[in-house]
Amino acid sequence: MQKNIGPNVKNVYRMKDYRTRYSRRSLLLLPVRKWLRFAYLLGFSSYKQIFRTKRYFVFQGETYQYFIHPFNTTWVNERTVEIPIVYHRIVKYPSRDVLEVGNVLSHYFPIKHTIIDKYESGEGIVMADAVEYNSKNYYKMIASISTIEHIGCDEGPREPGKHRRAIAHIRELLAVGGTFIATFPLGYNLEMDNDLANGRLGFDEYYFLKRVGREEWEETKYEDVRTIHYGSPFPAANALVIGIIRLGGPGFSSI
């Protein structure tokens, strides 16, 4: 309920003093309203279209729902496909058997598995470099979502080839029959793209998703994405790689 405003403070009111014009709840909602307006200006016709419309994509013969979440506006970048692909697989394992390289999933789900991250801290997160982390435990499932491309590339000073050392080290943390699944965008780390093209990256298997619309992806072959650029024609990734390492375990389809 708005308080009575005397003649001496009318000018303050006219100067848009948000503390008197809006309740505390309204103030907290202002950033959300501005964000939704921004989403609308990007071409989304309504809140319902963003959050309530169920849309799907197919990967390796399985149908997944695009992952929509306000954190990092997932529907306008690669998070919309890489999170459902990875999360669908790690939930099949007990938390003690799972290691995540790079803190991503905890922003979206309650997480109990071990996470290593060189720069982020928090409950369940071990601040460690991916090339140095050691554990007495060997993991049946190791996952990394759009993290490997930053290793050595976005660090100071830069360390060429560090992503290869990280991949090789993570392989050593796998239990027999374990699987390492990593996603990364093409066009972000050109050294990594070159390693992929020349067979030096270190994964056993590769799968590819191509962005064919602002919010639409489809599985394709490497030949169709090898020249795709990061950030063009759509923001963020326009092609995504899913790399797999299997340590004497079952095929990818049975992960």
> Among candidates 162, 163, 180, which has minimal Cα distance to 171?
180
Give how many domains the chain has, as a whole number. 1
Q: Is the pLDDT of residue 175 over 60?
A: yes
Residue 36 lies in a domain: no
Average pLDDT over residues 40-44: 49
Q: Is the pLDDT of residue 26 over 60?
A: no
Residue 151 lies in a domain: yes
Query: Angle between the 190-197 and 162-172 helix axes, to the nearest 10 degrees?
Result: 60
Average pLDDT over residues 148-168: 95
Residue 60 lies in a domain: no
Q: Is the pLDDT of residue 222 over 90?
A: yes
Residue 8 lies in a domain: no
Whether this prediction's pTM lies above 0.75 is answered by yes
Residue 88 lies in a domain: yes
Top-confidence residue, 22 or 184: 184
Distance CA 205, CA 201 (A): 11
Residue 201 lies in a domain: yes
Domain, as residue range, for 177: 75-254
Residue 50 lies in a domain: no
Residue 196 lies in a domain: yes
**Does residue 233 have a cis bond before it (omega within 30 degrees)?**
yes
pLDDT for residue 172 = 96
Q: Is the pLDDT of residue 14 over 70?
A: no
Average pLDDT, the chain: 85
CATH of the domain at 102: 3.40.50.150
> Among candidates 169, 167, 205, 179, which has minimal Cα distance to 97?
179
Top-confidence residue, 43 or 64: 64
Residue 98 CB: number of other CB atoms within 10 A?
22
Average pLDDT over residues 189-216: 97
